[in-house]
Amino acid sequence: MLIGGKSVEAQSGKRIERGSPGHSGAIVGSWPQASADDVCLAIGAAREAFDVGPWPRLSGAERSAILYRIAELIEARVEDLAIAECLEVGKPIAQARGEIGYCADMWRYAAGQARALEGQAHNAIGDDRLGLVLREAVGVVGIITPWNFPFIIASERVPWSIGVGCTVVLKPSELTSGTSVMMAEIARDAGLPDGVFNVVTGYGDPAGQTLAEDPGTDMVAFTGSVRVGTRIGEIAARQVKRVGLELGGKGPQVVFADADLDAAADGIAYGVYHNAGQCCISGSRLIVHEDIRDELLARVIDISRKVTFGDPLNETTKIGAMISRAHLDKVDGYVKSGRDAGAEVMIGGNAEAADGLYYAPTVFTGVRPDMAIAREEIFGPVLSTIGFRTADEAVALANDSEYGLSASVWSRDLENAMQTIRRVRAGRCWVNSVIDGTPELPIGGYKKSGVGRELGRYGFDEYSQFKGIHVTFGAPPRWFTG
């Protein structure tokens, strides 16, 4: 772990071993198993770095320069980081390499914005008054990240929080902690002051729970399930502590009859099979116009049959491994429940016999909106298909979910596409693409998909406090004149 700039073991000496999900029996990671006491030490280091250390009081230019150096060092270590991410998560090496490069760009964007952060001045509130709005860092932030995109999700949060002047304790998933520790070590090597960026490794209970409960943290940002996010929100509410939550999703992909079917089919396959479907913004619900349903599905099935999946270290692999045996069994349980409910499996629907944890690309048709496979987040390479006739029906189906994290619309008619996506209640949307991203645009959820926004200018607001100051010139009118 990294606490106060030092690499440390857990006080208990206990460690967590990680077996590669893509290579049965291969141990690819070993990390300290943090106790609540270990986490408290990290919080104390972050607290001192915020309350006493120089970081919140540096100029934006000084913080920016360090963030730029972090981006440069990430780029210099792309291959090391990609291999670690590939082996720990089971994602294809080419995908992991691209993700690390994208993360360097996020750090670079945050670095550029860190010196441009501003408040406001109000010069029209009276000749003898001036109003100022100051932006200040919220304080010590506990960040809890999941196992599917450990480096990306940390990079969507850490540079924004420290860029505004916060200090951080990051708790990655116990399954995929390696690249998070590497990130913090890179930041230390880039000159980030001790205690600004700490990483503790361990289980949600006690490590993650301590971050939420400890009064030494001013905010907790969590990415993961609705169940755990709700629990963290309850804990934070008891202390009136700020919370940011990015939770589950059941992303619709709405395809109109005038769509480019080849492009749509490719996007649909990518949207549901990316990271083996273990993606909160997965486009797992295909809502397709009845006139093109068969033709589009034929294209999707063809891609599903040909797409390469298997060994994550193979440069040509598109779909890698599932994160664990328990998760693979959960996905298979959803598929079985879909069959039992009367939906038809057009392709896949089974685990693959291979040296690792792999699930075949799976496409359902004959899905009713009330089925579990249409409503619940499967988190696997499973597509559920529902037909529609009118734009109103498509929007109603897209919004018929407790989630609202992402959505796509496919249509050559830009007006139709834009009018449709404006009516869909989701925070991260695409027109004629899917799972695209740029640091400039905010991300976050509607409904049970969470609260708060990351990235873009809005990401800095997430980790900022705003202080209003009234300045009076000259002698103010007397309240008491007796």
CA dist 240 → 116, 135, 155, 218, 220 (Å): 30, 20, 26, 9, 11
pLDDT > 70 fraction of the chain, expressed in percent and rounded: 100
Would you give the distance in Å from CA 104 to the centre of its chain? 16
pLDDT for res 352: 83
413-464 pLDDT, tens per residue?
A: 999 999 999 999 999 999 999 999 999 999 999 999 999 999 999 999 999 9
Residues facing 133 on adjacent strands: 120, 468
Q: Which residues contact 428 (CB under 8 A, 6 or more apart)?
A: 281, 405, 406, 407, 443, 444, 445
Q: Grade residue 25 by pLDDT with cuts at 50, 70 and 90.
A: confident
In this structure, are residues 74 and 81 in contact, taking their beta carbons and an 8 Å threshold? Answer: yes
Helix (H) or strand (E) holding 199, with range, is strand 197-199
pLDDT for res 355: 86
Q: Grade residue 481 by pLDDT with cuts at 50, 70 and 90.
A: confident
242-301 pLDDT, tens per residue?
A: 999 999 999 999 999 999 999 999 999 999 999 999 999 999 999 999 999 999 999 999
Strands 129-137 and 464-472, by their bridges, are antiparallel
Encoded tokens for 173 = 């998933």
pLDDT > 90 fraction of the chain, expressed in percent and rounded: 97
Q: What structural domains does the chain harbor?
A: 2-247+449-469 (3.40.605.10), 252-431 (3.40.309.10)
Encoded tokens for 179 = 């690249």
Helix locations, 308-388, DSSP H: 325-340, 372-375
pLDDT for res 477: 85
Task: Determine whether 290 is an active site residue.
Answer: no
What is the Cα–Cα distance from 185 to 84, expressed in whole angstroms?
Answer: 14
What is the Cα–Cα distance from 257 to 255, expressed in whole angstroms?
Answer: 7
CA dist 280 → 9, 260, 420, 450, 464 (Å): 32, 25, 22, 12, 26
Q: Grade residue 482 by pLDDT with cuts at 50, 70 and 90.
A: confident
In this structure, are residues 385 and 293 in contact, taking their beta carbons and an 8 Å threshold? Answer: yes
This prediction has a pTM of: 0.96
Catalytic residue among 99, 174, 246, 454: 246
Three-state DSSP at 355 gives coil
What is the Cα–Cα distance from 93 to 262, expressed in whole angstroms?
Answer: 26
Residues facing 352 on adjacent strands: 358
Given the structure tokens 């590497």, which residue do they identify? 182
**Closest C-alpha to 282, from 377, 180, 374, 401:** 377
167, pLDDT greater than 80: yes
pLDDT for res 193: 98
Task: Determine whether 280 is an active site residue.
Answer: yes
97-141 pLDDT, tens per residue?
A: 999 999 999 999 999 999 999 999 999 999 999 999 999 999 999
Question: For residues 369-391, b (16+ Cβ closer than 10 Å) or e, as one string?
Answer: eebebbbbbbbbbbbbbbbbeeb
What is the Cα–Cα distance from 125 to 470, expressed in whole angstroms?
Answer: 10
Q: Grade residue 353 by pLDDT with cuts at 50, 70 and 90.
A: confident
**Closest C-alpha to 46, from 148, 161, 125, 153:** 161
354, pLDDT greater than 80: no
- Number of Cβ within 10 Å of residue 92's Cβ equals 29
Residue 181 backbone dihedrals phi, psi, to 5 degrees: -65, -40
| Cis, peptide link before residue 206, omega less than 30° from 0 | yes
394, pLDDT greater than 80: yes
Q: What is the mean pLDDT of the chain?
A: 96
Average of pLDDT values for 401-421? Answer: 97
Helix (H) or strand (E) holding 50, with range, is helix 36-51
Catalytic residue among 86, 166, 280, 462: 280
pLDDT for res 416: 97
